[in-house]
Amino acid sequence: GRRLELHAHVDDLLLSGQAYPIGPDPLPVTLDVARMTGGGWSLRLRFTARATGPCMRCLEDAAPEFAVDAREVDQPGGGEELDSPYVSPGGELDLRAWAHDALVLALPAQILCRPECAGLCPTCGVNLNHDPGHAHEREPDPRWAKLRELGDRVR
C-alpha cells in the first residue's frame, strides 16, 4: 500500500440552516491506498477538522475539532456494496466529496461551544453558562386556570 499526504477543500457544512465553515482550508488529509486481491482498492482517509459557528445551545462562538477516520472499498464488478461512490469508473477519487461526507458522519448531533454547555434560559433567554443559578418563579400550570377562577369566585 501507499500513504499519501494530500490537501482537500471541504465545503461549509449546513446544519439546521446555519453554515459552519470547515478549517483549516485546505484541509491536510492522509490517504492510505492498498491494492486488494481481485483488482480493487482499499482506501482509508484520516484528518482532523474544525467547524466554526454559533453553539447550537447558547449561540456563542463554537469551534469544536473532529477526528475523522473513514474507509472505502472499490472493487470493480463486485456489486453495489463494493463500488465506492467516490471513485469514478475511470478510477479517479473524489476526495472533496468523500472528506465532506466522512466529516458529516463524524459530527455529533449538535455543534457546541463545549460539551457541558448549559444553553439559554427558555423563559428569558439569558445564557445559563454565565449565570448558572438563574431561576424564575414557576408559572402556575395553565391547565388548572379554570379551577383557580372558580375558587376565586367562591371566596
Which pLDDT tens digit goes with each residue over 24-39? 999 999 999 999 887 8
Question: What range does the domain containing 76 cover?
Answer: 2-106
Q: Answer for the pair 99, 47: CB distance below 8 angstroms, yes or no.
A: yes
Global pTM value? 0.78
Question: Looking at the domain assignment, is residue 113 inside a domain?
Answer: no
Mean pLDDT across the chain: 91
CA distances from 155 to 21, 91, 150, 151 (A): 62, 85, 9, 6
The reply to whether 48 and 84 lie within a common domain is yes
The reply to whether 98 and 123 lie within a common domain is no
- What 124-131 contacts at long range (C-beta under 8 Å, 24+ apart), as own/partner pairs, is 127/58, 127/60, 128/58, 129/58, 129/60
Nine cell digits for residue 2: 501507499
Closest-CA residue to 124 (of 132, 134, 116): 134
For residue 91, pLDDT beyond 80: yes
Quick one: which H or E segment has residue 100?
A: helix 95-106
For residue 81, pLDDT beyond 70: no
For residue 107, pLDDT beyond 80: yes
The reply to whether 22 and 60 lie within a common domain is yes
What per-residue confidence (pLDDT) applies to 149? 86
Count of the separate structural domains present in the chain: 2
